[in-house]
Amino acid sequence: MTTTAPGGPVAAELPFFVYGTLLPGEPNHDLFLRGRTAGERPAVLPRALLYDGPGYPYAIEGHGRVHGTLLVAAPGVYGELLGLLDHLEEFLGPGHPRNLYERVAREVELPGEAGEAGAGHGAGESVRAWVYLAAAAVTRSLRTGGVLIPGGRWTTGRTPGGS
């Protein structure tokens, strides 16, 4: 379903899946997300690979899993949050040649609650969310010479202040 507003179509108000500097405890979480989310849960992006970047990671389509967090925008701030994240991720519009990332809707898996993880095949649920995947030119570069992050879990590995 597409909704429209004066001035054009409006993006579906999907939650956001984040996997790098926007994760809780990472620097951009406080800068961009503090006070703008109504909920945050661990989540997994299936059929994706994670690559190291210059201080932040890139996810691309692939035969793996990327671990991250699903964020739900707080009431009344969805448009602001979407604009902030599009700017941070250098997303100028679908297929724009200067995009660093593309914002795409993907199914994200939410692990079952504590105690359910071993409850058998398929524990947990799946939701549709916005994900920022590396743009086409970046993806080509990563596939030929990028550094894959084993296990699909990004951490800076650095302490604040460089100590």
Residues with catalytic roles: 89
Say how far apart CA 68 and CA 112 lie, in whole Å. Answer: 15
Tokens of 56: 């932040």
Which of 31, 137, 22 lies closest to 89 in space, CA to CA? 22
Contacts of 96 (CB under 8 A, 6+ apart): none
DSSP letter at 92 equals -
Bridge-based pairing of strands 37-51 and 8-10 is unpaired
Tokens of 124: 């947990």
Tokens of 83: 């604009």
Say how far apart CA 123 and CA 6 lie, in whole Å. Answer: 42
